[in-house]
């Protein structure tokens, strides 16, 4: 007998029929002899709808009150799911974040889980109840409702799995698992049977939006075996787990891309101590997160500094940088929104050379110019013109041997 935490996302509980189908899955898991804790999101579109109501009232919402509003989506789905399970003659009980007591800090709209009290969940499981917990929400020390940031139900599920030392945490979504790249961009994308936490973190932070990043960090820290599965099929899904040192890991496990980037270059920056600190200090003050940074070696006492920011921060970043550039007597600022970042990710590249070179050759062969390069132990990223995103992803996918085998139709055509 195992303890299994299951999480169902917005599309999986998108209407009443689907909620009934989720109830059947929970009941089947319990009938197989397991203890079941289910975490659910709001019905798909509901959180957006609630946020729209907030912005119809004010464009500067008090985030404590905003959390009171947006946390209600999950209150609806836990109640409906608990009743759907009861309708199948099984015991179920719903819990809001504060009823479990999912204690968070007070950073409204992006709170972090501090502690989970497992007592009430354990009690309910002892009574053979299926425990249904609202995702995305918690309560702070003052008793105020908090939310964990968009996609936060994943983190609720993993945190509960960690607190209960569950045997598995299964994240049910509308895709069958984690893919080698975005199937919408590359039709040859393949579902992975397993992937390491580290790779998943890189892929998630690079824009593969299957799991909330924080949930993967949590799973890695507490070694929670994490499954990504579809609630619409019986596919076993993808297991996110620790690196298996006995196995030869593939060189590259996935290709990620991010179109949400913008590039800013500061030309002719005086080559003296403190200029980078001033520039990036000013950006930090505006809460602009900087991604890739490249500084060229100085020539004739001047240097060029180039970096990328999220596109949503582009205007703030450009205006801030222009001001600082003037103050430090740099020669000029160039800003470009038509860029994309393409990355190859794989723990296998830790022990192999030539992976980056191969990536550059593949892009060169397609005539794609590389504007910036950054690397980590298990990742190489290149900034390119955004119009080449698809071409780059597909060519890299093929070159690193990730394409799904072509379907052989000869047997059926005769």
Contact between 13 and ligand ASP per CB under 6 A:
no
Measured from the CB atom, is 22 or 402 closer to Mg ion? 22
Nearest approach in angstroms of CB 189 to ligand ASP is 24
Measured from the CB atom, is 158 or 402 closer to Mg ion? 158
Residue nearest to Mg ion (CB): 151
CA dihedral 75, 81, 86, 91 (to 10 degrees): -70
Nearest approach in angstroms of CB 221 to Mg ion is 20
Find tokens 């973190």 and name the residue: 201
Measured from the CB atom, is 177 or 346 closer to Mg ion? 177
Measured from the CB atom, is 138 or 151 closer to Mg ion? 151
Contact between 136 and ligand ASP per CB under 6 A:
yes
Contact positions with Mg ion (CB under 5 A) in 141-160: 151
- Binding Mg ion (rule: CB under 5 A), the pick from 4, 5, 6, 9 is 9
Measured from the CB atom, is 10 or 250 closer to ligand ASP? 10
Q: Which does 73 bind (CB under 5 to 8 A by kind): ligand ASP, Mg ion, none?
A: ligand ASP
Measured from the CB atom, is 76 or 328 closer to Mg ion? 76
Nearest approach in angstroms of CB 41 to ligand ASP is 3
Q: Which does 199 bind (CB under 5 to 8 A by kind): ligand ASP, Mg ion, none?
A: none
- Secondary structure of the chain as H, E, C letters: CCEEEEEECHHHHCCHHHHHHHHHHHHHHHHCCCEEEEEECCCCCHHHHHHHHHHHHCCCCCHHHHHHHHCHHHHHHHHHHHHHHHHCCCCEEEECHHHHCEEECCCCCCCCEEEECCHHHHHHHHCCCEEEEECCEEECCCCCEEECCCCCHHHHHHHHHHHHCCCEEEEEECCCCCECCCCCCCCCCCECCEEEHHHHHHHHHCCCCCCCHHHHHHHHHHCCCEEEEECCCCCCCEEEECCCCCCCCCCCCEEEEEEEEEEEEEEEEECCCCHHHHHHHHHHHCCCCEEEEEECCCECCEEEEEEEEEHHHHHHHHHHHHHHHHHCCCCEEEEEEEEEEEEEECHHHHHCCCHHHHHHHHHHHCCCCCCEEEEECCEEEEEEEHHHHHHHHHHHHHHCCCCCCCCCCHHHHC
Instruction: Choose the stretch contacting ligand ASP; rule: CB under 6 A; options: 96-104, 148-156, 248-256, 301-309.
Output: 148-156
Please answer whether residues 227 and 246 qualify as being in contact, where contact means their C-beta atoms are separated by less than 8 angstroms.
Answer: no
Q: Which does 42 bind (CB under 5 to 8 A by kind): Mg ion, ligand ASP, none?
A: ligand ASP
Residue 377 to residues 147, 202, 215, 216, 351, Cα–Cα distance (Å): 33, 11, 22, 18, 9
Measured from the CB atom, is 157 or 384 closer to ligand ASP? 157
- Binding ligand ASP (rule: CB under 6 A), the pick from 5, 6, 10, 372 is 10
Q: Which does 250 bind (CB under 5 to 8 A by kind): ligand ASP, Mg ion, none?
A: none
Contact between 22 and ligand ASP per CB under 6 A:
no
Q: Which residues pair with residue 38 across a beta bridge?
A: 6, 132
Q: Which does 97 bind (CB under 5 to 8 A by kind): ligand ASP, Mg ion, none?
A: none
Quick note: the x/- pattern for ligand ASP over 153-172, rule CB under 6 A, is xx------------------
- Binding ligand ASP (rule: CB under 6 A), the pick from 11, 18, 35, 73 is 73
Contact between 14 and ligand ASP per CB under 6 A:
no
Measured from the CB atom, is 138 or 152 closer to ligand ASP? 152
Nearest approach in angstroms of CB 264 to ligand ASP is 30
CA 249 to CA 413: how far, in whole Å?
A: 37
Contact between 152 and ligand ASP per CB under 6 A:
yes
Contact positions with ligand ASP (CB under 6 A) in 116-135: 135
Instruction: Choose the stretch contacting ligand ASP; rule: CB under 6 A; options: 56-64, 96-104, 149-157, 166-174.
Output: 149-157
Residue 214 to residues 43, 54, 155, 175, Cα–Cα distance (Å): 21, 25, 6, 20
Please give the residue ranges that form the binding site for Mg ion (CB under 5 A). 9, 151
Please give the residue ranges that form the binding site for ligand ASP (CB under 6 A). 9-10, 41-42, 47, 73, 135-136, 150-154
């Amino acid at each position: 007998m195992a303890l299994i935490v299951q999480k169902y996302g917005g599309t999986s509980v998108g209407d009443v029929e689907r909620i009934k189908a989720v109830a059947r899955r929970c009941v089947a898991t319990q009938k197989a002899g397991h203890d079941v804790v289910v975490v659910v999101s709001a019905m798909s579109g509901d959180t957006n709808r609630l946020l729209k109501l907030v912005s119809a009232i004010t464009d500067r919402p008090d985030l404590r009150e905003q959390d009171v509003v947006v946390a209600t989506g999950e209150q609806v789905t836990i109640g409906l799911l608990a009743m759907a399970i009861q309708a199948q003659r099984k015991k179920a009980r719903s819990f809001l974040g504060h009823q479990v007591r999912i204690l968070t800090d007070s950073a409204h709209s992006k709170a972090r889980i501090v502690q989970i009290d497992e007592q009430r969940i354990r009690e309910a499981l002892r009574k053979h109840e299926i425990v249904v917990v609202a995702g995305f929400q918690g309560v702070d020390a003052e008793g105020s409702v908090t939310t964990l940031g968009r996609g936060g139900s994943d983190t609720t599920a993993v945190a509960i799995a960690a607190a209960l030392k569950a045997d598995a945490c299964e994240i049910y979504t509308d895709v069958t698992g984690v893919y080698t790249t975005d199937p919408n961009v590359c039709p040859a994308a393949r579902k992975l049977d397993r992937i390491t936490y580290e790779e998943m973190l890189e892929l998630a932070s690079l824009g593969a939006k299957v799991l909330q990043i924080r949930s993967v960090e949590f799973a890695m820290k507490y070694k929670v075996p994490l499954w990504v599965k579809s609630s619409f099929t019986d596919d076993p899904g993808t297991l996110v787990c620790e690196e298996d040192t006995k196995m030869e890991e593939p060189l590259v496990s996935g290709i990620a891309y991010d179109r949400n980037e913008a590039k800013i270059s500061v030309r002719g920056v005086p080559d003296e101590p403190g200029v980078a600190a001033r520039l990036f200090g000013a950006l930090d003050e505006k809460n602009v997160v900087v991604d890739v940074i490249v500084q060229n070696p100085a020539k004739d006492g001047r240097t060029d500094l180039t970096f990328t920011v999220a596109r949503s921060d582009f205007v703030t970043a450009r205006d801030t940088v222009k001001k600082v550039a003037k103050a430090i007597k740099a020669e000029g600022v160039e800003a470009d929104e038509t860029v994309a970042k393409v990355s190859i990710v794989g723990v296998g590249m830790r022990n192999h050379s030539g992976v980056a070179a191969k990536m550059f050759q593949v892009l060169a062969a397609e005539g794609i110019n590389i504007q910036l390069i950054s690397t980590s132990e298990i990742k190489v990223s290149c900034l390119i013109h955004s119009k080449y995103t698809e071409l780059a992803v597909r060519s890299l996918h093929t070159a690193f041997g990730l394409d799904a085998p072509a379907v052989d139709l000869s047997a059926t055509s005769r």
